[in-house]
């Protein structure tokens, strides 16, 4: 008998999908969303970066938002300052994602239900959500930079899965580590897919870490709703297989008994740290340079200490352009790298490119191999 929930055609907005996935209960609906993400990433037509007229218009969108956005500094009751951005067009949309742009420090925004704000963008990969998208969903969550975030996520997930399943097919165990992983959705999809393919759960270990403990709680909350994954939860971090989520600052990442890892991801974090860049937001905006330390080399030293020789690291570039300047209007500051900059940075910690890479408008995703001492 067919499952009526899987075949549900009722509209599902991205923000609703996000709150279902990371909220309490709604197990069937959460599974349906995970099914949709897996279907799109592993079986669907390849998600492509935006091209054509929408890409051409990104320069105009940047110009318009830059002209119409105002920055205000307010003071909290504890005396600390906070920034909000005012933009009448975005405010009128009433779309809750705009809070991440307009009120960057507001952790009470409903969106935070999904942890990392990027999760709202990932929801657009789910075919039912994409079909239900309304105009503001498309403008905000499927813009040029947002589509690139989706493409980056899809490649991170596919590459992690491919590297892991290569080992499993040889009967070897695989240990995956995702640094600064937000709620770890990419690794969750990889593990779900590997288990659905019938791989032995005892051979699969995944450690999902992020500085924010709220993200790790969300990771466990979602895993507990997935029938195949829920039996693999490791809350103590002491198991030899299963999924462990922990709050960890990347700069203090301690080696675990299980290190080194075979597949390591460092995605969506290097662009906040200097070192081997070709530009920074600060240079462009004539602001003080970002602190020299800690930098990208410091991160990679730690990552290298947890990656086995001959094993793999997945990382991303971040290129400067009108799409990234839109985020600068809302106070975001980045360190920009092209593939050659990322490779030079990776080489400082003994990582060499394997030749596998994928490019979007803003990001490239590249696989590196750790060389011997
Ligand atoms: C842009 S998000 C990317 C999350 C995830 N990798 C993805 O691609 O969806 C950046 C993440 O880095 C985390 N983060 C920031 N600084 C960190 C640090 N020093 N150590 C660990 N995580 C950090 C944040 O909490 C946030 O979840």
DSSP string for residues in 174-197: EEEEEET-TT-HHHHHHHHHHHHT
Q: How far is the CA of 233 from the centre of ligand 1 (A)?
A: 22
Report the 10 Å Cβ neighbour count for 16: 16
Give the confidence band of 104 by pLDDT, cuts at 50, 70, 90: confident
- As a whole number of angstroms, the distance between CA 69 and CA 325 comes to 13
Give the confidence band of 255 by pLDDT, cuts at 50, 70, 90: confident
**Average pLDDT of the chain?**
93
β-sheet bridge partners, residue 75: 81
pLDDT, tens digit, for every residue of 161-174?
999 999 999 999 99
> Is ligand 1 within 6 A of the CB of residue 174?
no
- As a whole number of angstroms, the distance between CA 5 and CA 10 comes to 10
pLDDT, tens digit, for every residue of 65-74?
999 999 999 9
Residue 231 exposure: Cα atoms within 13 Å on the Cβ side: 8
Does position 64 have pLDDT exceeding 50, yes or no?
yes
Does position 111 have pLDDT exceeding 70, yes or no?
no
Span 266-284, mean pLDDT? 97
pLDDT value of position 110: 40
Q: How far is the CA of 212 from the centre of ligand 1 (A)?
A: 8
Provide the whole-model pTM.
0.95
Q: How far is the CA of 249 from the centre of ligand 1 (A)?
A: 9
pLDDT value of position 118: 85
> Is ligand 1 within 6 A of the CB of residue 181?
yes
- As a whole number of angstroms, the distance between CA 90 and CA 92 comes to 5
Token output for 276: 């081997």
β-sheet bridge partners, residue 83: 73
Q: How far is the CA of 170 from the centre of ligand 1 (A)?
A: 32
> What are the chain's domains?
145-370 (3.40.50.150)
Q: Which of 104, 180, 264, 324 to mutate to test ligand 1, by most ligand atoms within 8 A of the CB atom?
A: 180
> Is ligand 1 within 6 A of the CB of residue 250?
yes
> Is ligand 1 within 6 A of the CB of residue 118?
yes
Question: Ligand 1: which atom is nearest the Cα of residue 248?
Answer: 21
pLDDT, tens digit, for every residue of 216-234?
999 999 999 999 999 999 9
């Amino acid at each position: 008998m067919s499952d009526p929930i899987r075949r549900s055609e009722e509209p599902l907005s991205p923000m609703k999908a996000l709150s279902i996935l990371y909220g309490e209960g709604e197990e069937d609906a959460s599974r349906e969303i995970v099914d949709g993400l897996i279907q799109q990433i592993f079986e669907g037509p390849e998600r492509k970066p935006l091209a054509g007229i929408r890409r051409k218009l990104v320069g105009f969108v940047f110009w318009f938002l830059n002209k119409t956005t105002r920055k205000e500094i307010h003071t909290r009751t504890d005396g600390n300052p906070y920034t909000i951005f005012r933009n009448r067009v975005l405010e009128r949309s009433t779309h809750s994602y705009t809070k991440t742009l307009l009120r960057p420090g507001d952790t009470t925004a409903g969106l935070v239900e999904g942890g990392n704000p990027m999760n709202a963008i990932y929801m657009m990969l789910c075919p039912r959500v994409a079909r239900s998208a309304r105009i503001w969903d498309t403008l905000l969550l499927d813009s040029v930079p947002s589509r690139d975030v989706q493409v980056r996520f899809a490649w991170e997930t596919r590459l992690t899965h491919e590297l892991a399943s290569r080992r499993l097919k040889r009967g070897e165990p695989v240990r995956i580590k995702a640094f600064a992983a937000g709620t770890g959705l990419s690794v969750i999809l990889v593990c779900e897919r590997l288990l659905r393919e019938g791989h032995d759960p005892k051979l699969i270990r995944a450690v999902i870490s992020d500085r924010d403990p709220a993200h790790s709680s969300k990771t466990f909350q979602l895993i507990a709703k997935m029938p195949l994954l829920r039996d693999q939860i490791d809350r103590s971090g002491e198991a030899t297989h299963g999924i462990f989520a922990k709050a960890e600052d990347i700069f203090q990442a301690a080696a675990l008994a299980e290190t080194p890892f075979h597949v390591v991801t460092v995605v969506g974090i290097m662009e906040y740290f200097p070192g081997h860049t070709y530009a920074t937001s600060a240079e462009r905006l004539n602001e003080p340079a970002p602190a020299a330390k800690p930098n990208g080399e410091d991160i990679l030293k730690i990552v290298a200490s947890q990656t086995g020789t001959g094993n793999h690291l997945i990382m991303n570039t971040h290129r400067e352009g009108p799409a990234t300047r839109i985020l600068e209007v809302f106070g975001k500051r980045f360190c920009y790298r092209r593939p050659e900059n990322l490779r030079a940075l990776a080489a400082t910690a003994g990582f060499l490119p394997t030749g596998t890479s994928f490019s979007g408008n803003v990001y490239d995703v590249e696989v590196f191999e750790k060389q011997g001492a």
